[in-house]
Structure 1
Amino acid sequence: MSRQKQSNFWNTPLTSSLIKGKDVRPPEMLIGYFIGPIGGLLSSGIFTSILNTYFTDVLKLDLTFLTTLQLFSTILIVIANLVVGQLIERTRVLAGKARPWILLSALTLSVASVLMFIVPFDGVMKMVWIAIAYNLFYSVAYPIYNTANSTLVAVSTRNSDQRGQLASFNNIAGLVAMGAGSMVFPILVSFALKENQALWFAAMLAVGIITALTIFLQYKFSRERVTEELMAGGAGEEEGKSKVKTASMGTQFKAVASEKWWWVVMIFYMIFQFSGAIKNGSMSYFCRWVLDNSALGPDGWGTYQSILAVMGAIPMAVAMLFVNPLCQKFGKRKTVSAFLILGVIGGVIAIMGGSNIVPVAVGVALKCLGSSPACYMILAMLADVIDHIEWKTGLRTDGLTMSIYSSLMVAASPVMNAVFSAILNMVGYDQNLVVGTDMQSALAQTGISVSYIWFETIAYVICAILLFLFFRVEDNLKEEQAEIEKRNNTDLTAH
Structure 2
Amino acid sequence: MEEKKQKKSLFETPLLSTKVKSANAKIFPEGGLGYFIGPTLALLANSILSGYLNMYMTNVLNINSWAKTFFTLLPVISVIFVVAGNILVGRLMDRCKTKAGKARPLLLVSIPLSILALLILFTFAPGVGDISTNKSTQTVTLVMLALGYNLWFAVAYPFYYTSHAALVNLSTRNSKDRSLLATISNATALAAMGLCSMVLPFFLRFLFITDDNGVTNAVASQNAWRVFVIALIVITAIGVLIEYFFTRERITEESFANKLLDNRKKAEPISKQAKACFKDKFWWIIIIFFFLYQLGGMLKNVSQLYYCQAMFEGELPNGTMGHSTDIGGGFHGTLSIIGAIPTALGMVIAWPLATKIGKGKAILYGAVLSVIGGAIGFIAPTNFYVVTTSFVIKALGSTPAMYLSLALLADILDHQEAVHGFRTDGFTMTIYGAIMAGMTGIATGILNGMLGLTGYNAEQNIIATPAIQEAMKWIFIGGETICYAVIVIIFIFMGVEKFTAIDKRAIEMNHKAEAAAEGVEYVVPATKLEAEEKEAEAAAEEARKAELKKKCEKKGLNFEEQEAAYQKMLSEKQAAQEAKKQAAEAKKAAALKAKAEKEAAFTEEQKAEIAKKAELKAKKKAEKEAAALEEFNKLRQKNNQPVLEQE
TM-score (norm 1): 0.79
Deviation, 1:185, is 2.7
Q: Which amino acid aligns with 1:68?
A: L
| Partner Cα distance (1:227, 1:382) in 2 | 27
Aligned to 1:493: none
Deviation, 1:133, is 0.8
Residue 448 of structure 1, aligned match among 455, 464, 472 = 472
Q: 1:336 to 1:207 in 2, by over 3 A?
A: farther
- CA deviations 1:390-442 (Å, max 9, x no partner) are 897677956x66554443333222221111111222334344432xxx66432
Corresponding pairs, count: 480
Deviation, 1:31, is 4.7
Answer with 328-337 or 283-292: which moved more. Answer: 328-337
| Partner Cα distance (2:407, 2:243) in 1 | 19
Answer with 134-143 or 172-181: which moved more. Answer: 172-181
- Conserved? CA contact 2:60–2:208, under 8 Å: no
- Conserved? CA contact 1:277–1:413, under 8 Å: yes
Q: Does 1:251 align with 2:269?
A: yes
Query: What are the equivalent positions in structure 2 for 1:1-400 lying under 5 Å apart?
Result: 5=7, 9=11, 14-16=16-18, 18=20, 31-61=33-63, 62-121=67-126, 122-152=137-167, 170-194=185-209, 195=218, 196-222=221-247, 242-243=261-262, 251-252=269-270, 254-255=272-273, 258-259=276-277, 260=280, 264-293=285-314, 297-298=322-323, 299-323=326-350, 332-376=359-403, 397=425
Deviation, 1:137, is 0.4
Aligned to 2:525: 483
SS at match of 1:316: helix
Residue 461 of structure 1, aligned match among 466, 485, 505 = 485
| Partner Cα distance (2:498, 2:184) in 1 | 22
Q: Which amino acid aligns with 1:371?
A: S
Q: 1:140 to 1:426 in 2, by over 3 A?
A: same
- Conserved? CA contact 1:118–1:201, under 8 Å: yes
| Partner Cα distance (2:71, 2:405) in 1 | 30
| Partner Cα distance (2:423, 2:6) in 1 | 28
Answer with 457-466 or 155-164: which moved more. Answer: 155-164
Answer with 256-265 or 46-55: which moved more. Answer: 256-265
Q: 1:253 to 1:119 in 2, by over 3 A?
A: farther
- Conserved? CA contact 2:59–2:457, under 8 Å: no
Deviation, 1:448, is 1.2
- Conserved? CA contact 1:344–1:457, under 8 Å: yes
Q: 1:33 to 1:306 in 2, by over 3 A?
A: same
The structure having more radius of gyration, on CA atoms, is 2
Q: 1:150 to 1:394 in 2, by over 3 A?
A: farther
SS at match of 2:123: coil
- Conserved? CA contact 2:359–2:404, under 8 Å: yes
Q: Which amino acid aligns with 2:45?
A: S
Q: Which amino acid aligns with 2:269?
A: T
Q: Which amino acid aligns with 1:89?
A: D
| Partner Cα distance (2:355, 2:399) in 1 | 15
| Partner Cα distance (1:358, 1:336) in 2 | 26
- Conserved? CA contact 2:81–2:154, under 8 Å: yes
Q: Which runs of 5+ in 1 are unaligned?
A: 491-495
- Conserved? CA contact 1:17–1:219, under 8 Å: no
Q: Which amino acid aligns with 1:86?
A: R
| Partner Cα distance (1:292, 1:488) in 2 | 60
Q: Which amino acid aligns with 2:482?
A: I
Query: Aligned-pair RMSD on alpha carbons?
Result: 4.4
Deviation, 1:368, is 2.0
Deviation, 1:6, is 7.2
Answer with 27-36 or 43-52: which moved more. Answer: 27-36
Q: 1:159 to 1:466 in 2, by over 3 A?
A: farther
Q: Which amino acid aligns with 1:312?
A: G
SS at match of 2:144: helix
TM-score (norm 2): 0.62
Q: 1:314 to 1:404 in 2, by over 3 A?
A: same
| Partner Cα distance (1:11, 1:316) in 2 | 44
Deviation, 1:54, is 0.6
SS at match of 2:122: coil
Deviation, 1:453, is 0.9
- Conserved? CA contact 1:17–1:95, under 8 Å: no
- Conserved? CA contact 2:120–2:147, under 8 Å: no
- Conserved? CA contact 1:156–1:223, under 8 Å: yes
- Conserved? CA contact 1:264–1:466, under 8 Å: yes
| Partner Cα distance (2:270, 2:19) in 1 | 29
Deviation, 1:452, is 0.6
Q: Which amino acid aligns with 1:85?
A: G
Deviation, 1:226, is 7.0
RCO comparison, higher one (Cα < 8 Å, 6+) = 1
